[in-house]
């Protein structure tokens, strides 16, 4: 018997178990999204608890040493820490042509500072900032190039500060004291020289990467040229970049003064800037580890007793890491919950 063609629409066969497939309702989809967002907002607090359990001894030791310090100078150091968020927000705004909401931008930098202590090489802060920029409607190429401009300006701004405080503190610690050893310095120089060569080899071998790389460079150069024609952008960009390490150095100077370190403020500031420059090539979460060791070495090079230099560094870490970490994680969770991140 020949098969007859079907003129009407084909009706799908029912399921063998007698039940029809039920589409996912918008309410259920929204509930699943909200649950995932709540879980994501709790992850920073979970990371905070794990880190506190692993490194809680540092907090207890630092708190014990700071108990006998001058509380007003410690409060000044905490104020300098908070001003560091304002400086970071200025640099972030100066690195993008788009106008960003000031309150949310500052809150994002508080959250970025907390995330920065969990991942090395500023990856946590950059990831939070890129997410924030995307949520504000900034295109992804412009958001990523702003990160490159931010990093470059922050690195370049330290040079004039070092020169100024080298002149202001003529009895400075010998440079050989804070410089890394020959092997570390050779690795750093080799990495700087090999990085462009490795990038060129990768682009030559992997052709699909050429166009994105060219677009990235073109966007970066265009935005940098455009930003430096607008005083409302390049002034906060460079001003914030100069102020950020200076404010961090003022935290060290405040803690050192509170503990009675026998050094002047220019010497304390120079010790921090030199330590940050010497250990900046070693990637670590928030610079913890290499910067601490270099700072203790620099303070000891000035003649500070080793125990007092160690207490100063611990106090600096308590004010810049542990005290702001809980509110920073809470802000990060709140921004995730409000879909700002």
Residue 74 within any structural domain of the chain: yes
At 326, the pLDDT band (50, 70, 90 cuts) reads confident
Question: Residue 5's CB: how many other CB atoms inside 10 A?
Answer: 5
- Residue 89: per-residue pLDDT: 95
Per-residue pLDDT, averaged over 233-247, amounts to: 92
As for how many domains the chain has, the answer is 1
275 Cβ partners below 8 Å, 6+ apart?
178, 291, 294, 295, 297, 298
Which of 101 and 124 is assigned the larger pLDDT? 101
Per-residue pLDDT, averaged over 42-46, amounts to: 54
Contact 336, 41 (CB under 8 A): yes
Integer Cα distance of 254 and 315 in angstroms = 10
- Parent domain of 298: 57-337
Which of 86 and 56 is assigned the larger pLDDT? 86
Looking at every residue in the chain, the average pLDDT score rounds to 76
Range with the largest mean pLDDT of 8-12, 245-249, 306-310: 245-249
Contact 246, 66 (CB under 8 A): no
Per-residue pLDDT, averaged over 127-153, amounts to: 90
Per-residue pLDDT, averaged over 154-162, amounts to: 84
Per-residue pLDDT, averaged over 304-321, amounts to: 85
At 176, the pLDDT band (50, 70, 90 cuts) reads very low
Enumerate long-range contacts of 123-128, CB under 8 Å, 24 or more apart. 124/285, 128/332, 128/341
Residue 219 within any structural domain of the chain: yes
- Residue 274: per-residue pLDDT: 81
Which of 303 and 21 is assigned the larger pLDDT? 303
Per-residue pLDDT, averaged over 146-168, amounts to: 84
Lowest mean pLDDT across 159-173, 212-226, 313-327: 159-173
Residue 4 within any structural domain of the chain: no
Integer Cα distance of 206 and 190 in angstroms = 23
Residue 186 within any structural domain of the chain: yes
Per-residue pLDDT, averaged over 77-105, amounts to: 93
Integer Cα distance of 139 and 323 in angstroms = 34
Q: Is the pLDDT of residue 94 over 60?
A: yes
313 Cβ partners below 8 Å, 6+ apart?
252, 292, 295, 296, 299
Residue 5 within any structural domain of the chain: no
Q: Is the pLDDT of residue 199 over 50?
A: yes
Adjacent-strand bridge partners of 120: 285
Integer Cα distance of 44 and 128 in angstroms = 12
- Residue 250: per-residue pLDDT: 94
Integer Cα distance of 258 and 255 in angstroms = 5
* Strand, helix or coil for residue 71: helix
Question: Residue 16's CB: how many other CB atoms inside 10 A?
Answer: 6
Tokens 């709140």 belong to residue: 334
Residue 105 within any structural domain of the chain: yes
Per-residue pLDDT, averaged over 312-328, amounts to: 87
Residue 15 within any structural domain of the chain: no
Phi first, then psi: what are they for 23, rounded to 5°?
-70, 150
The full length of the chain comes to 341
Residue 13 within any structural domain of the chain: no
Q: Is the pLDDT of residue 107 over 90?
A: yes
Which of 59 and 79 is assigned the larger pLDDT? 79
Reported as half-sphere exposure (CB side, CA atoms, 13 A), residue 259 has a value of 29
């Amino acid at each position: 018997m020949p098969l007859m063609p079907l003129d009407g629409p084909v009706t799908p066969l029912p399921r063998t178990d007698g039940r029809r497939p039920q589409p996912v309702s918008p309410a259920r989809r929204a509930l699943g999204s909200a649950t995932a967002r709540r879980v994501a907002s709790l992850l920073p607090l979970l990371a905070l608890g794990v880190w506190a359990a692993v490194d809680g001894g540092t907090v207890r030791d630092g708190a014990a040493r700071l108990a006998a310090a001058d509380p007003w100078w410690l409060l000044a150091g905490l104020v300098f820490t908070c001003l560091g968020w304002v400086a970071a927000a200025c640099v972030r705004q100066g690195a993008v042509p788009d106008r960003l909401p000031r309150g949310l931008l500052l809150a994002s930098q508080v959250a970025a500072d907390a995330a920065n202590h969990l991942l090395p090489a500023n990856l946590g802060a950059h990831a939070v900032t890129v997410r924030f920029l995307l949520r504000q409607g900034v295109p992804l190429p412009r958001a990523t190039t702003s990160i490159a401009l931010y990093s470059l300006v922050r690195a370049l701004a330290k040079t004039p500060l070092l020169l100024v405080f080298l002149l202001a503190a003529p009895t400075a610690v010998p440079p050989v004291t804070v410089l890394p050893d020959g092997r570390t310095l050779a690795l750093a120089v080799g990495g700087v020289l090999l990085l462009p060569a490795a990038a060129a080899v990768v682009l030559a071998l992997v052709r699909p990467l050429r166009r994105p790389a060219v677009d990235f460079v073109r966007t970066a150069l265009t935005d940098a040229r455009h930003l430096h024609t607008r005083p409302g952008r390049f002034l906060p960009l460079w001003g914030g970049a100069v102020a950020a390490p200076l404010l961090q150095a003022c935290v060290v100077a405040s803690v050192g003064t509170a503990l009675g370190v026998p050094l002047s403020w220019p010497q304390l500031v120079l010790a921090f800037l030199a330590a940050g420059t010497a250990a900046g090539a070693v990637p670590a979460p928030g610079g913890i580890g290499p910067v601490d060791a270099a700072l203790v070495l620099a303070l000891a090079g000035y003649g500070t007793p080793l125990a007092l230099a160690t207490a100063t560094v611990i106090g600096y870490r308590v004010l810049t890491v542990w005290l702001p970490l809980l509110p920073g994680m809470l802000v990060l969770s709140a921004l995730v919950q409000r879909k700002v991140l």
